[in-house]
Amino acid sequence: GAVVSQHPSRVICKSGTSVKIECRSLDFQATTMFWYRQFPKQSLMLMATSNEGSKATYEQGVEKDKFLINHASLTLSTLTVTSAHPEDSSFYICSARVLGTGHQPQHFGDGTRLSIL
Amino acid sequence: DAKTTQPTSMDCAEGRAANLPCNHSTISGNEYVYWYRQIHSQGPQYIIHGLKNNETNEMASLIITEDRKSSTLILPHATLRDTAVYYCIVRADNFNKFYFGSGTKLNVKP
């Protein structure tokens, strides 16, 4: 159980394009999902917390107008990288926590590798 | 910000126990310790978590010191497929966020 699916797994696009990444919890409901970014040979960096039915909260230094997050249902959050540039190339990973007790772990998707040419 | 420190890398012989330490000296009373691992180009995989008692599941054991300032993840019989970066994370029960540290690169060698 507790499977999180990300789509697409890899995307290559031209500079200036907007890219949407989907994160779905397949067998559980999640009021909260998280988005991370990981550059090569670095650790995961939390970008934002996605809350179902309300605005996302962003970590310091993350541009909310650049990284649009929508969490319209209990099983789907989307991250849109707007007007992507080569410096936005990275591995984007989402996670979700099972609705319920506070100490339940987050479950992660397999990530989306974004390459901007 | 990550509240944990881990060694950068460790080696372990295949079939032997891998003991991965983590320091979390500023941990608060309601904060849990979580362990994840990340195999190259994949999302992190949940391993185990605990508050103060030692925990065991089918993947690993988690030993938390009595003062809770450090913990050790034990993989009882490491295999080559256990080669990964292992992350120790501290998170409060009433807060959702995970802040990842640098983790430990475990190299399991034949």
Whole-number pLDDT of residue A101: 63
Distance CA A70, CA B99 (A): 22
- The label of the residue with tokens 């994370």 reads B89
Measure B93 CA to nearest chain A CA, in Å: 5
Whole-number pLDDT of residue B30: 85
Q: How confident is the model at residue A22 (pLDDT cuts 50, 70, 90)?
A: very high
Q: What is the pLDDT of residues A64-116, one digit of tens each?
A: 999 999 998 889 999 999 999 999 999 999 999 877 667 888 999 999 999 99
Whole-number pLDDT of residue B93: 57
Whole-number pLDDT of residue A30: 86
Count of C-beta atoms within a 10 Å radius of residue B53: 8
Which of B31, B33, B40, B46 to probe by mutation at the A interface, max A CB count within 10 Å?
B46
Give mean pLDDT, residues B35-60: 95
Cβ of A4 under 8 Å from any chain B Cβ? yes
Question: Which residues lie across from B11 on neighbouring strands?
Answer: B107
Distance CA A24, CA A7 (A): 9
Q: How confident is the model at residue B29 (pLDDT cuts 50, 70, 90)?
A: confident
Distance CA B89, CA B30 (A): 14
* Residue percentage of chain A with pLDDT more than 90: 77
Measure B13 CA to nearest chain A CA, in Å: 24
Measure A17 CA to nearest chain B CA, in Å: 24
Task: Please state, in angstroms and as integers, the Cα–Cα distance from residue B6 to each residue in B3, B73, B82, B102, following that order.
Answer: 10, 11, 17, 7
Task: Please state, in angstroms and as integers, the Cα–Cα distance from residue A43 to each residue in A38, A63, A72, A84, B43, following that order.
Answer: 6, 20, 28, 22, 11
Going by C-alpha positions, the residue among A97, A20, A66 that lies closest to residue B91 is A97
* Residue percentage of chain B with pLDDT more than 70: 95
Classify residue B29 by burial, with Cβ atoms within 10 Å: 0-12, 13-18, 19+: exposed
Distance CA A35, CA A39 (A): 14
pLDDT above 60 (res B91): yes
